């Protein structure tokens, strides 16, 4: 069965000696490998203000705190995401306000967001779902007009671009996940990127209980509660080795995605997504809409191909009952969207076979 997701790890001969070296080095907590990994990641993204963390969820939690979210502040978000985007809003006491999605791509719809803005709106979270980038042209206008910061959840979209610039340089805060199945994994890990350096020291303290790592424990004074969100040297060492492969790995996702965009255009029963202006997707999952999804998935499975929707819509969880509202775009999208395998493990023969199988009908 060709899977939908699969972790990429560099060859054993390359990774294992470096891992072994760090594990027995006597220093496995946050140290130089973490700072070296941060430097490499900053260079890749093109943003010097990136901090390594233990997970993407940690990065989201910190982003909401740094954005100044207070209990009962409203944050406009999308149900078309993994749970942490929205559970971390609840962690800071914020109220999730569900924007509707564009039924042609599952991404937050700027028109819906505009209608939801109130005095209580303190942030807009954009999830670049499955590697597609949200309509940044429109969201930047909204952010400017209402003076509301954008937090980009780029857990799915490492390597995607807006106006030719990597995701991670374009908004007040952007978070990345290096969890098991993402474009790049360090087993677990995350990054928080910010568009200026003002809050870097504060964020650094918050990833380590509120302590300042530059001072000794005895000289430290915690002035704000922090968390244990630091990355350790073991995860960072995996990341350093991964960085040598990242361009090549991401380009495999993108090449396969573009192949499907071309080959599946106009195929009966398939509707391709609308990509937003001035964006370049990084195709973490290839996403499209199909008629009769149940039978589509069955016929793909019979051919040895895993096809399915991945995430459960977040607005159905009981903790968000008070945010419930009618989302017609989401209904339409949610009933038809599906993913097909597209990542680094999908060979040219595989992708051709996948296209041929779809073209046969279901
Ligand atoms: C859209 C989205 N946001 C945030 C996260 C949280 O990342 P992590 O698992 O690294 O905490 C994930 C993934 O797992 C995700 O898919």
> What value does the mean pLDDT take over residues 186-199?
97
191 and 287 both lie in a single domain: no
Number of domains in the chain: 2
pLDDT band at 43 (very low <50, low <70, confident <90, very high): very high
Would residue 2 count as lying in a domain?
Answer: no
* Cα(155) to centroid(ligand 1), Å: 5
SS3 content of the chain, % helix, strand, coil (to 5): 40, 15, 45
The phi-psi region of residue 225 (left if phi > 0; otherwise alpha if psi is between -120 and 50; otherwise beta) is beta
CA distance 59 to 284: 20
Residues with CB under 6 A from ligand 1: 55-57, 81-82, 84-85, 127, 153, 155-156, 177, 179, 190
Q: Which of 210, 243, 276 is the endpoint of a domain?
A: 243
The two structure tokens encoding residue 154: 């780029």
CA distance 163 to 214: 37
CA distance 102 to 325: 16
* Cα(276) to centroid(ligand 1), Å: 22
Q: Is pLDDT above 90 for 310?
A: no
Residue nearest to atom 16 of ligand 1 (CA): 82
pLDDT of amino acid 311: 85
Q: Tell which atom from ligand 1 comes closest to the C-alpha of 57.
A: 11
User: How many C-beta neighbours within 10 Å does residue 317 have?
Assistant: 16
**274 lies in which domain range?**
246-360
Judge residue 190's burial from the number of C-beta atoms within 10 Å of its C-beta, 0-12 exposed, 13-18 middle, 19 or more buried: buried
The two structure tokens encoding residue 119: 């005095």
Q: Which CATH number belongs to the domain containing residue 281 in this structure?
A: 3.90.1150.10
Q: Is pLDDT above 90 for 217?
A: no
Alpha helix segments (H runs only) across the chain: 12-23, 32-45, 56-66, 84-91, 110-116, 136-146, 200-206, 233-243, 246-263, 293-302, 328-336, 348-360
Q: Which of 243, 271, 299 is the endpoint of a domain?
A: 243
The two structure tokens encoding residue 94: 């914020």
- Give the H/E segment covering residue 272: strand 270-272
Residues 6+ away with beta carbon under 8 Å from 1: 301, 304, 305, 306
102 and 191 both lie in a single domain: yes
> What value does the mean pLDDT take over residues 111-135?
98
CA distance 153 to 17: 34
Would residue 7 count as lying in a domain?
Answer: no
Would residue 82 count as lying in a domain?
Answer: yes
203 and 254 both lie in a single domain: no
pLDDT band at 184 (very low <50, low <70, confident <90, very high): very high
pLDDT of amino acid 180: 97
User: Can you name the residues that pair with 176 across neighbouring β-strands?
Assistant: 191
Would residue 232 count as lying in a domain?
Answer: yes
Would residue 338 count as lying in a domain?
Answer: yes
pLDDT of amino acid 304: 98
Q: Which of 219, 243, 267 is the endpoint of a domain?
A: 243
239 and 253 both lie in a single domain: no
87 and 215 both lie in a single domain: yes
pLDDT tens-digit series, residues 131-147: 999 999 999 999 999 99
pLDDT band at 35 (very low <50, low <70, confident <90, very high): very high
* Cα(88) to centroid(ligand 1), Å: 11
Would residue 315 count as lying in a domain?
Answer: yes
287 and 263 both lie in a single domain: yes
227 and 296 both lie in a single domain: no
205 and 295 both lie in a single domain: no
23 and 166 both lie in a single domain: yes
pLDDT band at 25 (very low <50, low <70, confident <90, very high): very high
Q: Which CATH number belongs to the domain containing residue 77 in this structure?
A: 3.40.640.10
The two structure tokens encoding residue 306: 């895993």
pLDDT band at 74 (very low <50, low <70, confident <90, very high): very high
82 and 186 both lie in a single domain: yes
pLDDT tens-digit series, residues 256-292: 999 999 999 999 999 999 999 999 999 999 999 999 9
Q: What is the residue-averaged pLDDT of the chain?
A: 97
Would residue 106 count as lying in a domain?
Answer: yes
User: How many C-beta neighbours within 10 Å does residue 103 have?
Assistant: 21
224 and 312 both lie in a single domain: no
CA distance 237 to 285: 26
> What value does the mean pLDDT take over residues 50-66?
98
Please state at what angle helix 32-45 crosses helix 233-243, rounded to 10 degrees: 40
Give the whole-number percent of the chain exceeding pLDDT 90. Answer: 99
Closest of 78, 79, 72, 77 to residue 316, by C-alpha = 79
* Cα(176) to centroid(ligand 1), Å: 8
* Cα(353) to centroid(ligand 1), Å: 31
Would residue 117 count as lying in a domain?
Answer: yes
215 and 330 both lie in a single domain: no
Mutate to test the pocket of ligand 1, among 7, 84, 178 (most ligand atoms within 8 A of CB): 84
User: How many C-beta neighbours within 10 Å does residue 54 have?
Assistant: 21
């Amino acid at each position: 069965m060709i899977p939908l997701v699969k972790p990429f790890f560099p060859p054993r001969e390359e990774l294992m000696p470096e891992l072994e070296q760090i594990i027995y080095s006597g220093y496995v907590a946050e140290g130089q490998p973490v700072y070296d990994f941060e430097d490499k990641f900053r260079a890749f993204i093109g943003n010097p203000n990136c901090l390594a963390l233990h997970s993407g969820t940690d990065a989201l939690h910190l982003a909401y705190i740094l954005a100044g979210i207070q209990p009962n502040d409203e944050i406009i978000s999308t149900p078309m995401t993994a749970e942490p985007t929205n559970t971390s809003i609840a962690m800071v006491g914020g109220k999730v306000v569900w924007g509707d999605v564009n039924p042609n791509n599952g991404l937050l719809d700027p028109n819906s967001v505009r209608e939801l803005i109130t005095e209580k709106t303190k942030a807009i979270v954009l999830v670049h779902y499955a590697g597609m980038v949200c309509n940044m042209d429109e969201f930047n206008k909204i952010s400017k007009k209402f003076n509301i910061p954008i937090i980009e959840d780029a857990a799915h979209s490492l390597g995607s671009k807006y106006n030719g610039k990597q995701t991670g340089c374009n908004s007040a805060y952007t978070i990345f996940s290096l969890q098991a199945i993402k474009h790049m994994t360090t087993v677990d890990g995350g990054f928080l990127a910010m568009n200026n350096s003002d809050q870097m020291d504060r964020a650094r303290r918050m990833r380590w209980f509120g302590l300042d790592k530059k001072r000794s424990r005895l000289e430290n004074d915690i002035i704000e509660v922090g968390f244990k969100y630091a990355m350790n040297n073991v995860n960072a060492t995996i990341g350093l080795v991964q960085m040598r492969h990242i361009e090549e790995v991401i380009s495999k996702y993108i090449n396969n995605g573009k192949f499907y965009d071309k080959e599946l255009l106009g195929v009966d029963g398939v509707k391709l997504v609308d990509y937003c202006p001035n964006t370049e997707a990084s195709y973490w999952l290839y996403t499209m809409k199909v008629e009769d999804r149940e039978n589509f998935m069955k016929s793909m499975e019979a051919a040895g191909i895993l096809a399915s929707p991945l995430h459960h819509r977040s607005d159905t969880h009981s903790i968000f009952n008070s945010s419930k509202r009618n989302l017609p775009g989401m209904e339409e999208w949610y009933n038809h969207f599906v993913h097909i395998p597209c990542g680094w493990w999908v060979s040219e023969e595989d992708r051709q076979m996948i296209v041929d199988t779809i073209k046969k009908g279901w």
